[in-house]
Structure 1
Amino acid sequence: MATNAPRDIYYAVWITFFILGLGSLLPWNFFMTATMYFTSRLKDPLIDGNGTAVNGTTIGTLESIFNNVMTLSSMVPMLIFSCLNSFIQQRIPQKLRISGSLAAILVVFLLTAVLVKVEMAPLTFFCLTIIKIICINSFGAIFQGSLYGLAGLLPVSYTTPIVSGEGIAGTVAAVCMICALATGAALQDSAVGYFITACVVILLAILSYLALPSIEFFQYYMESNRPRTSTDQENKWNKPDVVISCSEEEDKPDVSVLAIFKQIWVVAMSMCFIFTITIGTFPAVTVDVQSTIADGGAWDTYFIPVACFLLFNVMDTVGKTLTGICKWPGADSIWLPILVGVRVVFVPLFMLCNVQPRHYLPVWFGHDSWYILFIILFAFSNGYLASLCMCFAPKMVAPHEAETAGAVMVFFVSLGLTLGSAFSFAFRAMI
């Protein structure tokens, strides 16, 4: 079948999947990058800088709880809808799931950009923001699951552009954060730039997806992975009734999520563990590491944006992109779960860096170079191993089960993110 396949002329399909990968995470990365903008609008004018009300009573502020609530309201809907997507993808057309989810996220970001210039009470702004977070992550989970399932119908190398696009999304957001710091741009102006850029990327992703069916390479693999061909459909009328009944069931084969999980459980659990370790330490622990050589200079200002966020995203992208060239270890190799498990060593390594404030553990790796080395290995292994698992899963099942396998993998990504968020509180408290 592959020998008769048309060429991906000008790498049009590869580039399209890269854009779709970029569109899947860039909007949310920009949303998180604008955290300072959101917290600045949640300051209650009746409360002073110490959180004390005008009558002298100390109370909690929306500003102080925003980050925790944002994490909860992003992870829980993502987990729920990733799970639901494994089932609804069999009932809702793929085109509606992908283009509809992107359109919904586009509307949310357009609204977010408009609201930058609209004055409102902190509580109202807080509620609207949380609702937007829930919507972005709910539709984002459906989109990601459907996208990986779609890529699973193509050659295995076509999962790589998706994960590369996701990696570039984090890098772009980190660069924009550094540029905003360097230029001293106002929070509102930076936020408008983030949200408008996100809207442009989402719109580009929608247009790219709608153009996919017109590409011969894409058409070939979609037709090749159909349960029946048109010739089979015509021939069934010449067969006995009992055979016709059988053929009709083959037209729409049953897809069992449990049966698929039994085939891909090693890579699925590996994916979950990868993100549990990654999110458990990044950024909850890594963001509190302080430079020991900056001495109050410019490096002190840019240390975390560059050494933590930018370096992590660059090396994560390098790891993801490398899977387009090298896919070792294989899906059935014992080395894959072993390498995934070994990543747990990064938890104590980062804890023993110069994380401040600290109360219990000593500092063993105080110099900045240790921290930078750990970030490089940590990010590269995250990108490479996660990309491997995501590439392997759709190819471990039958072609008509590939989309569901992709949705199952996204669920385990979401589960890993949720578990990692929960463990991050414990890891930080242990320091």
Structure 2
Amino acid sequence: TMATTSPKDKYLGVWVIFFMLGLGTLLPWNFFMTATMYFRSRLKDPLLTEVSANQSEAAGEHQSVLETKFNNVMTLCAMLPLLLCTCLTSFLHTLIPQRLRVMGSLFIIMFVFIITAVLVKVPLEPLPFFSITMVKIIIINSFGAVLQGSLFGMAGLLPASYTTPIMSGQGLAGTFAAASMICAIASGSELEDAAFGYFIVACVVVFLSILSYVLLPKLVKSNWNIKLSAVFIISLS
């Protein structure tokens, strides 16, 4: 079987692709978590901000209700869909083709990040911005769970060594998100401009994950023997 046979991986191409896909599963959520400073800045009450400006010594104490609730609501909107969709994926994976689950999830996640980047430049009142942000978090974690479940199912057809790049990519996601935010802030740009560039980077990484998945069948077909590649490519369809 494929699980016990070690296929040839010329130039570690398949390994790198699984690494990119692993990065793409957790990077979206990590980018949202790391950008809390930007999100909370958009939730400030204009009246409280004016008071804080006039009373600088008390500036840190003035927070709107939405600011104080943001982290807790964000976590709730992330973890519940993640749990639910992970369970659903384990039951419904036979009804939805793997290619649709993976490509569909990646495209939706990229679309959400494009919207997030655009909204950086769009002025919104705190409440609508809060609501839209929570909906985006629900969508990203729902489809992230589908993507992750599908990816590990795909890796299960291969030798155990191919689980390593997935885990490595997921492990790098948090570090990459933090490093990207540090670079954005260190650029000296205004918070709005830094956040815009930050979310554009996320779009690029997700797009690279999509390209990686598109290239996977071609790489498998050219490097592996006919029997192994046929079984794996069928699983991707």
| TM-score of the pair, normalised by structure 2 | 0.85
Picking from 61, 66, 72, the partner of 1:68 is: 72
Question: Does residue 112 in structure 1 map to residue 116 in structure 2?
Answer: yes
Counterpart-to-counterpart distance in 2, 1:60 and 1:42: 7
Residue aligning to 1:92: 96
Q: CA deviation at 1:206?
A: 0.7
Q: CA deviation at 1:22?
A: 1.1
Please tell me whether the aligned partners of residues 45 and 64 of structure 2 are also in contact (alpha carbons under 8 angstroms): no
Distance change in 2, residues 1:222/1:76 (3 Å) = farther
Counterpart-to-counterpart distance in 2, 1:186 and 1:163: 35
Counterpart-to-counterpart distance in 2, 1:109 and 1:196: 8
Distance change in 2, residues 1:116/1:156 (3 Å) = same
Identity rate, percent: 58
Residue aligning to 1:175: 179
Instruction: Give the superposed CA RMSD.
Output: 2.6
Please tell me whether the aligned partners of residues 19 and 208 of structure 1 are also in contact (alpha carbons under 8 angstroms): yes
Residue aligning to 1:358: none
Of structures 1 and 2, the larger Rg is shown by 1
Counterpart-to-counterpart distance in 2, 1:144 and 1:165: 12
Residue aligning to 1:334: none
| Partner SS state of residue 47, structure 1 | helix
Counterpart-to-counterpart distance in 1, 2:39 and 2:118: 14
Q: CA deviation at 1:181?
A: 4.8
Residues 212-242 of structure 1 show CA distances to partners (whole Å, capped at 9, x for unaligned) of 1112256754544799xxxxxxxxxxxxxxx
| Partner SS state of residue 46, structure 1 | helix
Please tell me whether the aligned partners of residues 151 and 158 of structure 1 are also in contact (alpha carbons under 8 angstroms): yes
Question: Does residue 124 in structure 1 map to residue 125 in structure 2?
Answer: no
Residues 167-196 of structure 1 show CA distances to partners (whole Å, capped at 9, x for unaligned) of 111111222333345444422122112211
Question: Does residue 155 in structure 1 map to residue 159 in structure 2?
Answer: yes
Residue aligning to 1:29: 30
Residue aligning to 2:85: 81
Distance change in 2, residues 1:138/1:45 (3 Å) = same
Residues 55-81 of structure 1 show CA distances to partners (whole Å, capped at 9, x for unaligned) of xxx995211111110000000000000
Residue aligning to 2:10: 9
Please tell me whether the aligned partners of residues 40 and 67 of structure 2 are also in contact (alpha carbons under 8 angstroms): yes
Counterpart-to-counterpart distance in 1, 2:233 and 2:106: 25
Matches within 5 A, 1:414-425: none
Counterpart-to-counterpart distance in 1, 2:140 and 2:89: 15
5+ residue gaps, structure 1, are 51-57, 228-399, 404-431
Aligned length: 222
Counterpart-to-counterpart distance in 1, 2:82 and 2:18: 21
Give, as a single letter, the amino acid of the residue that structure 1 aligns with 2:149: G
Matches within 5 A, 1:28-67: 28-48=29-49, 61-67=65-71
Matches within 5 A, 1:319-338: none
Give, as a single letter, the amino acid of the residue that structure 2 aligns with 1:92: I
Please tell me whether the aligned partners of residues 6 and 220 of structure 1 are also in contact (alpha carbons under 8 angstroms): no
Question: Does residue 187 in structure 1 map to residue 221 in structure 2?
Answer: no
Please tell me whether the aligned partners of residues 17 and 213 of structure 2 are also in contact (alpha carbons under 8 angstroms): yes
Picking from 98, 102, 118, the partner of 2:106 is: 102
Q: CA deviation at 1:42?
A: 0.4
Matches within 5 A, 1:2-401: 6-48=7-49, 61-214=65-218, 215-216=220-221, 217=223, 220-221=227-228, 223-224=230-231
Counterpart-to-counterpart distance in 2, 1:26 and 1:125: 22
Counterpart-to-counterpart distance in 2, 1:65 and 1:193: 26
| Partner SS state of residue 208, structure 2 | helix
Please tell me whether the aligned partners of residues 113 and 192 of structure 1 are also in contact (alpha carbons under 8 angstroms): yes
Give, as a single letter, the amino acid of the residue that structure 1 aligns with 2:98: Q
Give, as a single letter, the amino acid of the residue that structure 1 aligns with 2:115: L
| TM-score of the pair, normalised by structure 1 | 0.48
Give, as a single letter, the amino acid of the residue that structure 2 aligns with 1:64: T
Give, as a single letter, the amino acid of the residue that structure 2 aligns with 1:32: M
Counterpart-to-counterpart distance in 1, 2:93 and 2:39: 34
Distance change in 2, residues 1:5/1:34 (3 Å) = closer
Q: Which protein has greater RCO, CA pairs closer than 8 Å, 6+ apart?
A: 2
Q: CA deviation at 1:85?
A: 0.5
Distance change in 2, residues 1:226/1:193 (3 Å) = closer
Please tell me whether the aligned partners of residues 5 and 220 of structure 1 are also in contact (alpha carbons under 8 angstroms): no
